[in-house]
Amino acid sequence: MNTLLWIVAIVAIVFFIIGGTVKAVSFLLWVAPILLVIAIVLFILNRGKRV
């Protein structure tokens, strides 16, 4: 019974880590396109000032 408790605890910790990682990746998938658009706009604005 003690071994079963350890296995359940380890599985719960692994699921917790995977859940947190998926949540972080989901957040980054929303932030990345916004940062990409900002970078493209700044690139175009800086390029226009040189001409």
User: Which stretches does DSSP call E strand in 1-51?
Assistant: none
* 3-state helix/strand/coil string of 8-49: HHHHHHHHHHHHHHHHHHHHHHHHHHHHHHHHHHHHHHHHHH
Secondary element (H or E) of residue 1 = none
- Structure confidence at residue 37 (pLDDT): 92
Q: Give the count of beta carbons closer than 10 Å to the beta carbon of residue 13.
A: 10
Tell me the residue type at 43.
Answer: F
Q: Considering the chain, what is the average pLDDT of its residues?
A: 87
Q: What is the pLDDT of residues 27-42, one digit of tens each?
A: 888 898 999 999 999 8
- Structure confidence at residue 29 (pLDDT): 87
